[in-house]
Structure 1
Amino acid sequence: MRYELLGSLRVVRGDSCHTLSARKKEALLAALVIRSGQVLSVDQLVDELWVDNPPCRATAALHVYISQLRSFLGPRGRRNPIVTRSPGYLLELGSDELDFHVFQQFFREGRNLVRVQDHEGAVVRFEAALGQWRGSPLSGVGEGRIVSGFVTWLEELRLECVEMMVASSLALGRDHELIGFLYSLVSEHPLHEAFYESLMTALHRTGRRADALLIYQRARDALRRDLGLEPCRRLRELHQAILSDDDGLVLAGR
């Protein structure tokens, strides 16, 4: 069985995907999967489901949801993965798979290959890691502390993976094929300076110096408007290098 959190929450058994229609049960299963192997107390789970505003019979409702989740996960030739353990419950992963663990493994392998300058192998791993994603993680599942904290962490990790994949692709001289992708990234993440830096570099290397300078202006306008800040030192230095038509920027990708 495979638990999938990198998109809408679903459980995959063989060739079939199973989802939950009730938001509270989704949030409960998500919290248990995120903290698999750890005991979550009844108080933690109540807080996760109702976020500081529990109903009078919250504990009783939680026990009902646990029972329903156990039925949803079903018998698998061994005891149910949701185990009662004082002061609450835990989910035992066992041999089951988690999609974000697979993502992490590919990401770690990619980072290790970057360290030994194997950028081609690194790009393959980073692409495999990002291929685990189906959309916004746990979209619509809830606003509890466990889920929201996990989603924030995951999104940052995904951005780091994309950034490293782009850097390795630039190191391989894949400037032309990156430009469209990088334009979409700066539109989606207008305050992420690393993506502007990569796009400016790719544009300059492909002979589009004016477009590279326009991207710098776009970054500067966004940072000033939204944060009242100037671009970071790396971006300013890249801007100056492009203004002086630094051949090193071109040769670095060839």
Structure 2
Amino acid sequence: MRYELLGLIRVIGPDDTSYITAHKAEVLLAALLARSGQVVTADQLINEIWGDRAPRRAHAALHVYVSQLRKFLRNSGGNGQSIVTRPLGYLLCVGPDELDSNDFQRLVDDGRELVRLERHEQALRCFESALALWRGPAFDDARDGPIVNTCATWLEETRLQCVELLIEQYLVLSRHREIVGQLYALISDHPLRETFYRYLMLALYRSERQAEALMVYRAASGRLSDELGLEPCRPLRDLHRAILTGDEAFSGRPS
């Protein structure tokens, strides 16, 4: 049995891939996956599923949804015992290789270690493999409550860190021309993340597109000033100054 939450939640059994069509049951599974291996109390699950609109017999309704989810998991190829009842709530037992988010985190950690060892080609492939696990936003449309939202936010931040690490490897390996288009798209999606502006400026400068690199700085400065009343961070300002002065240390060319 394998659970995948880096996109629309799905369960992969020995013979087929299954999706939950009932939204509340999907939210229940999402909350148990977000806290896999931990007890989630009945009150937490009720809040996750219904928020402040819980029905009068919410605990009985929760019990029904748990029964439905157990049946779904059995029909998907599991043994029906992965959801364990505890005195205060429920726990979902997930093996170390049964959750795609665990695989993602392992690949990111492996990539970081390879960077530390200066094995940049291998690190790049590790980060690419990690990002390839994502099929869409984490938990997709099952982010109804605080447990799943917190987990999804953490996963998204880790994904962006992985993207940054991947871009760094392209720059270290002098493959800057390959990432210009991707960086423009990343800035469009994350217009306040200054690291992407800096990497784009560096990639353009190393691609002999100095004027475009300076235009990127101007765009970043204007966006930060208009929306937050801030000036660019020091690394961005330092790179801007280096481009203006033609600093060879940032050119990526051998000295």
What interval of TM-score do these two structures reach, taking the shorter chain for normalisation? over 0.9
Give the Cα separation in 1 of the matches to 2:169 and 2:254: 10
Task: Judge conservation of contact 1:37–1:91 (CA < 8 Å) in 2.
Answer: yes
* Uncovered stretches (5+) of structure 1, i.e. residues with no partner: none
Aligned CA distance change for structure 1 residues 77 and 194 (closer, same or farther; 3 Å) = closer
Aligned residue number for residue 251 of structure 1: 252
Aligned to 1:186: 187
Q: Deviations over 1:7-46 (max 9, x none)?
A: 0111111352111111111110011112111111111111
Aligned match of 1:210: 211
The 3-state SS of whatever aligns with 1:207 is: coil
Distance in 1 between the 2:78 and 2:143 partners? 31
Change (3 A) 1:95 1:231: closer
What is the match of residue 57 of structure 1? 57
- Deviation (angstroms), 1:80: 1.6
Query: Per the alignment, do residues 58 and 74 of structure 1 end up closer, same or farther by CA in structure 2, a change over 3 Å counting?
Result: same
Q: Please give the alpha-carbon distance, in whole angstroms, between the structure 1 residues aligned to 2:165 and 2:47.
A: 37
Listed as ranges, the gaps of 5+ residues in structure 2 are: none
How far apart are residue 187 of structure 1 and its match?
Answer: 0.8
Structure 2 letter corresponding to 1:42: A
Partner of 1:4: 4
Count, aligned residues: 254
* One-letter code aligned to 2:141: G
TM-score, normalised to structure 2, is 0.95
SS in 2 for 1:251: coil
Q: How far is 1:186 from its partner?
A: 0.8
Other structure's SS at 1:40 match: strand
Residue type at the aligned position of 2:160: L
**In terms of mean alpha carbon deviation, does 63-72 or 222-231 score higher?**
222-231
Cα RMSD for the two superposed structures: 1.6
Question: Aligned partner of 1:60: which letter?
Answer: A
Assess if the C-alpha contact under 8 Å between 2:9 and 2:19 holds in 1.
yes
Moved more, 13-22 or 203-212: 13-22
The aligned amino acid for 2:194 is E
**Distance between the aligned counterparts of 1:77 and 1:58, measured in 2?**
27
Name the TM-score, length of structure 1 as normaliser: 0.96
Q: Which residue is 2:237 aligned to?
A: 236
Q: Identical aligned pairs, as a percentage? A: 51
> Do the aligned residues in 2 keep the contact of 1:38 with 1:90 (CA within 8 Å)?
yes
Q: Residue 166 of structure 2 aligns to which amino acid in structure 1? A: M
Partner residue in 2 for 1:41: 41
CA contact under 8 A between 1:196 and 1:215: conserved in structure 2? yes
In the alignment, which residue of structure 1 is the partner of 2:120? 119
Q: C-alpha displacement at 1:85, in angstroms? A: 1.1
Counterpart residue number, 1:66: 66
Distance of 2:244 and 2:96 partners within structure 1: 56
SS of the residue corresponding to residue 243 of structure 1 reads: helix
CA contact (8 A) 2:74 2:80 kept: no
Could you tell me how far apart the structure 1 residues matched to 2:70 and 2:253 are?
56
Supply the AA of the counterpart residue of 2:67: S
The residue matched to 2:24 in structure 1 has which SS?
Answer: helix
Q: Does 1:138 align with 2:134?
A: no
Decide whether the 8 Å contact of 1:42 with 1:59 is kept in 2: yes
Structure-1 separation of matches of 2:36 and 2:159: 21
Separation of aligned partners in 1, 2:131 and 2:226: 31
1:233, 1:96 → 2: CA distance?
41
CA distance 1:197–1:252, change in 2 (3 Å): farther
Pairwise CA distance, 1:165 = 0.7
Matched, 1:24 2:24: yes
Cα distance in 2, alignment partners of residues 173 and 37 from structure 1: 43
